[in-house]
């Protein structure tokens, strides 16, 4: 095991798959010579050269269009969109073209394409560079959606995404890039569509994703220490495919569930999980599911206002404690 940062795990996963498979190529803005604007791809150009690691013009449509064409003709491209907010610029390709190609060709054309992007708030980039948009991607049939919370999951899930024959949107939460964690040495691949129970509890189930996972863990530890409340914490990890089996098992165990999501409240992924749980776990619930979200507002750049908008450890703790009263 090696200790890597979340950002270094990105480069480790890409390098692992590029060494394994010469059809894996990588393109995006400043990903080669600069090593990525968030320094997530340092060293890849030196090892794999300009033919396989390519800087592109500042054009999201060109990046995704080139990646789509490469995927259709035998390569396994990884495309980086610097900020997830800029998906809006190339949304026709992401929503209308890429996810439908395999379906419309009856499987004759596969789309082994990964789109990596820095997602979410917490680093004071303001309304146009801090959105959490995994719910945008989740609603499009034909896309797989992954959002890891730890360096180990970054490496394992990104490797699995690169090997997958379907298009995968891989959301890297930018406030986690400096976080460190143990990552398995050698070739390491996780399975897409598997949630992970990080903490076992008996009184409540907290369901979280990406940057909300460590906050949920801290809130659960505080609930135990200060109030004697035993809370499970489930890291969703993949929104599509969604591991309802693991999530529902934890909800049934405690009968009380809370989702913690960085998405704005309207149409967030927690609403979908809540709806499914009401259909599948209704008779096991002691309380309605409670969602902890960002308000339905553009995210502010001022420190205090951004901190107030995003779900905090304090808000998670208070909401769970009050919800169980």
CA distance 97 to 92: 7
210: left (phi over 0), alpha (psi -120 to 50) or beta: left
Give the chain's count of helices (H) and strands (E): 12, 14
Give whole-number Cα distances, 216 to 50, 204, 205, 318, in Å: 42, 12, 10, 12
Distance of CA 136 to the CA centre of its chain: 12
Q: How far apart are the C-alpha atoms of 209 and 216, rounded to whole Å?
A: 9
296 as an active site residue: the answer is no
CA distance 103 to 109: 9
SS3 sequence, 252-300? Answer: HHHCCEEEEEEEECCCCHHHHHHHHHHHHCHHHCCCCCEEEEECCCCCC
How far is it, in rounded angstroms, from Cα 157 to Cα 148? 7
Cα separation values, 55 from 34, 60, 67, 118, Å: 9, 12, 13, 17
Catalytic residue among 129, 174, 222, 237: 129
List the alpha helices (DSSP H) in 228-259.
244-254
Catalytic residues: 129
């Amino acid at each position: 095991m090696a200790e890597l940062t979340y950002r270094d795990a990105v480069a480790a996963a890409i390098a692992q798959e590029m060494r394994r498979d010469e059809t894996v190529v990588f393109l995006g803005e400043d990903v080669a010579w600069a090593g990525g604007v968030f320094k997530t791809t340092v060293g890849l150009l030196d090892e794999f050269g300009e033919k396989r690691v390519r800087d592109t013009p500042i054009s999201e449509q060109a990046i995704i269009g080139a990646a789509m064409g490469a995927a259709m003709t035998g390569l396994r491209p990884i495309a980086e969109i610097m900020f997830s907010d800029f998906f809006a610029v190339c949304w026709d390709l992401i929503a209308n073209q890429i996810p439908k190609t395999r379906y419309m060709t009856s499987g004759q054309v596969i789309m082994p394409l990964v789109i990596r992007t820095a997602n979410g708030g917490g680093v004071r980039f303001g309304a146009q560079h801090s959105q959490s948009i995994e719910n945008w991607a989740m609603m499009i049939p034909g896309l797989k959606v992954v959002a890891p919370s730890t360096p180990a999951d970054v490496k394992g899930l990104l490797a699995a995404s690169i090997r997958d024959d379907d298009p995968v949107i891989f959301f890297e939460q930018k406030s986690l890039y400096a976080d460190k964690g143990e990552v398995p040495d050698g070739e390491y691949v996780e399975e897409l569509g598997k949630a992970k129970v990080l903490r076992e509890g008996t009184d409540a189930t907290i369901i979280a994703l990406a940057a909300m996972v460590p906050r949920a863990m801290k809130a659960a530890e505080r609930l135990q220490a200060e109030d004697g409340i035993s809370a499970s914490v489930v890291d969703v990890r993949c929104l599509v495919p969604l591991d309802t089996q693991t999530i529902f098992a934890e909800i049934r165990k405690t009968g009380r569930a809370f989702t913690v999501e960085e998405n704005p409240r309207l149409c967030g992924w927690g609403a979908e999980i809540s709806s499914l749980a009401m259909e599948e776990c209704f008779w096991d619930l002691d309380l309605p599911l409670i969602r902890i979200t960002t308000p339905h507002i553009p995210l502010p750049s001022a420190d205090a206002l951004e901190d107030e908008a995003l779900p905090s450890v304090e808000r998670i703790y208070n909401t769970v404690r009050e919800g169980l009263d």
